[in-house]
Structure 1
Amino acid sequence: MFHMVVTRPAIADDYARVVEWVPDAAALYLFAGPSLVWPPTVAQLEQLAVRPGLSAWMVDDDEHEAAWGHFDLTTQGRSARLGRVIIDPRYRGRGLGLSLTLAALERARVLELSEVRLAVVADNEPAVRAYRRAGFEEIVDPERPEFAAMAYQISDRP
């Protein structure tokens, strides 16, 4: 059964929920890389949200009672960086990583962007798998081997 996935701008109350989805420092690193420190706080996420070009989004669908995912898009020109992607732990393992990634790409299309890039911790296999399934291609970045750099060319897609 197909579920309608929707995105909406994140608000302060959402950040309290997102912080709860991060159980330890290792999970925080997978979520935010070095941009946040343990323990994560609502204030840290609010500080990130005011960065120039950054928009934070929550993801929901018609099956779940509350938002189950979060991502940021930071735009620069006609490109964006997808970051701080996370799914509520209660809903992991259900293929929602792909749904969230496709929702982020749709948001990028609405913003009339031509490319979305990301850097994911290389051994975060579920995330790397979801990005590949969504159509992201790996980019060689020898200076940061701990991350898999990936890009999606929107202008190449229908």
Structure 2
Amino acid sequence: MELRGFDDGYGVQVADWALNEKEVALLSGRVVYPFPEELRANWRTADADIHSYLLFDGERPVGYGEVWLDDEEDEVELARIIVDPKVRGRGIGGELVRALLGPALDAGYSEVFLRVRPENAPAIRAYHRSGFVDVPAALMEEWNDGQPVPYRWMRYAGEQVGVGELRG
């Protein structure tokens, strides 16, 4: 598996991985299904603090995720993580998260966070295996204030097997 910078030529393919309204909302912020055609060409933000990546198995993209840098908060958030539905349940999500930790940790910020829908048990398991732990309940409640849905917020607690190799 190899993590590469996102190429807009894969936008339609990645958008098609969203199988329902919740998944479309996580990628685009719009609660619709299927992914709106008018957004397919330019659904990613042009924000310089957001870095988009694809995880490839050979020449086939199998996962997408973003690394959001926040200078003001001195933190990084892993976001918009999605795996090709054809390969879900095979550990690709965990591989993608561990790969995204490479650029996230290399950015040099003090903390790395992510948020996940509480009902997404497979993703939560993958995040735990990748070294993420829940933030304290009070902080989770604070961060969910004003969010469109309540999330389970997690923070990276330290290197796990294989992550150090990604940084080197």
Pair in the same fold by TM > 0.5: yes
Q: Is the 8 A contact 2:22 2:31 kept in 1?
A: no
Do the aligned residues in 2 keep the contact of 1:109 with 1:154 (CA within 8 Å)?
A: no
Whether the 8 Å contact between 1:115 and 1:154 is mirrored in structure 2 is: no
Q: Which amino acid aligns with 2:66?
A: D
Q: Which amino acid aligns with 1:89?
A: P
Question: What is the aligned partner in structure 2 of residue 20 from structure 1?
Answer: 16
Which of 28, 52, 70 is matched with 1:56 structurally? 52
The unaligned stretches of length 5 or more in structure 1 are none
Q: Which residue of 1 aligns with 2:141?
A: 142
Q: Which residue is 1:40 aligned to?
A: 35
Q: For the Cα contact (< 8 Å) 2:63–2:84, is it kept in 1? A: yes
SS of the residue corresponding to residue 44 of structure 2 reads: helix
Structure 2 length-normalised TM: 0.77
Amino acid at match of 2:62: W
**Percentage of matched positions with identical amino acids:** 26
User: 1:133 and 1:151 mapped to 2: Cα distance?
Assistant: 12
Unaligned runs of 5+ in 2: none
The residue number in structure 2 matching 1:104 is 100
Q: CA RMSD in A?
A: 2.5
1:93 positional shift = 0.6
CA distance in 2, matches of 1:154, 1:115: 10
Q: What stretches of structure 1 move > 3 A for 4+ residues in a row?
A: 41-45
Answer whether contact 2:131 2:158 (CA < 8 A) is retained: no
CA distance in 1, matches of 2:117, 2:39: 21
Give the CA deviation at 1:37: 3.6
Which stretch of the first structure deviates more once superposed, 84-93 or 35-44? 35-44
Aligned pair count reads 149
Match of 1:75 in 2: 69
Q: C-alpha deviations, 1:67-123, integer Å up to 9, x for none?
A: 100001110124211110000000001011110110010121333333211111011
C-alpha deviation, 1:26, in angstroms: 3.2
Residue matched to 1:66: 60
Out of 133-142 and 83-92, give the one that drifted further.
133-142
